[in-house]
Amino acid sequence: MRKLILGTSGLLILLGSNAVLDAADGPAHVAGRLLAAHREGIDPNLLERMWMAHGAVVRRRLPRFRVDVLEVPEERSEAILESLMRSGLFEYVEHDFYARTAAVPNDPSYIAQWHLPRIQSAEAWSVTTGSASVVVAVIDSGVDGKHPDLAAKLVPGWNFVGGNADTTDVLGHGTAVAGTLGAASNNGIGVAGVSWASLIMPLVVVDPNDYAAYSDIAAAIEYAVDHGVRVINISIGGPNSSSTLQSAVDYSWNKGAVIFSSAMNDTTAAPYYPAACNHAVAVSATDSNDQLASFSNYGAWIALAAPGTNILTTMNGGGYGYWYGTSFAAPIAAGVAALCLAVNPGLSNAALVSLLEQSADDLGPAGWDASFGWGRINAYRAVVAAKPATTPAVERSPGRRRSR
């Protein structure tokens, strides 16, 4: 059966009965279809008897590859696949899997989000759009719980400034960070986030005057980890080192979590914390020309870079606006990490960080450098590297960067 559907762009689209409408959903393979590659020299009559015995019908043949395309009852497809393989007549039998075009969301402002194509997000979304089982903690000023692109994405958090469960955004910064990371996407409104399906845990540590106590940051890290969060974003920083903050970062690392933190915006190599803590992933900012953003910090403590200029994202009160800063580079990297965990939840935090570094687009001098770390994040290369079938990532030597 075929049907005509008018797309959101006004384009008339012809769809077959097995067409996939949404890259985030849909079946992984064509129902009731197997591809059987018989060994060379097999008697065709023997194959026909095999098909009859299994209730399989040859839909078409690909003789160059010695492949018969079979129609079988879907409910018996796995059993038939295993039986055919046990017969010894076939080099392989597999499902007829779907390929998909690179998913582009229908959010009207997606076209203005230059940073998403730059990190190959659409290609990454053809592999995964994330998972609701991957919760990302946003340690910041709160999140606007009524924003149409965020309301459905939030899980309960905590306000460490007020000592209560009210995670309303007191400044607007946290809402912008959360939207960059995981705004509801492909929903016909607003903007797209890096990780469509990830949920967000707002943890308030910033007061209305834009101050965040290290103790509150440390407490928020502990809270996130104790609630099972594996990806934490902290777009906050201070120039003073802290054993308390380091202890919190170490706690998160030892529990399998990864903290992504902004390098800050003072055009200096001086370390800022928690980004410069051991085991934190410090993220510098790039511009639309893949240069280090004019405001971004840099130095021996940088691990990765991500876009951080002119980032269109969610605003307090339900609107959208452009923001600048490493505050937005960090959640882009954290969003890519969430996509990787959606593909492979079994990744250790060391393997996750290593594959993000290995799959990054190398900018500046070859290899690690003080401006971009191991390079600008690449979402597509990262999720492909994260797939379980790939060789597990080997952690890089720390080089000029602090040890993990």
pLDDT in tens, 271-309: 999 999 999 999 999 999 999 999 999 999 999 999 999
Mean pLDDT, residues 218-233 taken together: 95
d(CA 196, CA 336): 10
Sequence-separated (6 or more) residues with CB below 8 Å from residue 277: 245, 246, 249, 259, 261
pLDDT digits (tens, 9 = 90+) for 80-104: 999 999 999 999 888 886 443 223 4
| 219 token code pair | 């407490």
Give the range among 52-56, 217-221, 253-257 with minimum mean pLDDT: 217-221
Q: What is the mean pLDDT of residues 51-80?
A: 90
Tell me which of 147-161, 249-263, 285-299, 384-398 is least confident. 384-398
* Distance in angstroms (rounded) separating the CA atoms of residues 173 and 319: 13
Tell me which residue has tokens 């008018």: 6
Active site (annotated) includes residue 284: no
Catalytic position from the list 131, 327, 354, 371: 327
Decide if 185 is catalytic. no
What is the C-alpha separation between 273 and 202, in angstroms, rounded?
20
Contact 199, 154 (CB under 8 A): yes
Q: What pLDDT does 107 receive?
A: 56
SS3 173: helix
All domains of the chain in start order, with CATH: 31-97 (3.30.70.80), 110-386 (3.40.50.200)
Of 360, 314, 315, 313, which Cα lies nearest the Cα of 337?
360
**Average of per-residue pLDDT across 60-82:** 89
**Arithmetic mean of pLDDT, 256-272:** 95
**pLDDT tens readout for residues 316-363:** 999 999 999 999 999 999 999 999 999 999 999 999 999 999 999 999
Asked whether the predicted pLDDT for residue 8 surpasses 90, the reply is no
Task: Tell whether the model's pLDDT for residue 71 goes beyond 90.
Answer: yes
In the chain, the percentage of residues whose pLDDT exceeds 70 is: 86
Q: Cα(first)–Cα(last) distance of the chain, in Å?
A: 56
Q: Is 159 a residue whose pLDDT tops 70?
A: yes
**Mean pLDDT of all residues belonging to the chain:** 86
Does position 169 have pLDDT exceeding 80, yes or no? yes
Q: Considering 38, 173, 235, 371, which one is annotated as catalytic?
A: 173
> How are beta strands 90-97 and 29-38 bridged, if at all?
antiparallel
Q: What integer is the mean pLDDT of 378-403?
A: 66
Mean pLDDT of 135-155: 97
How large is the average pLDDT for residues 225-237?
96
- 95 as an active site residue: the answer is no
**Residue 2 clears pLDDT 70, i.e. is over it:** no
Catalytic residue chosen out of the listed positions 38, 107, 131, 140: 140
Q: What is the pLDDT of residues 26-58, one digit of tens each?
A: 556 778 989 898 999 999 999 999 999 999 999
Quote the Cα angle for 60-64-67, to 5°: 45
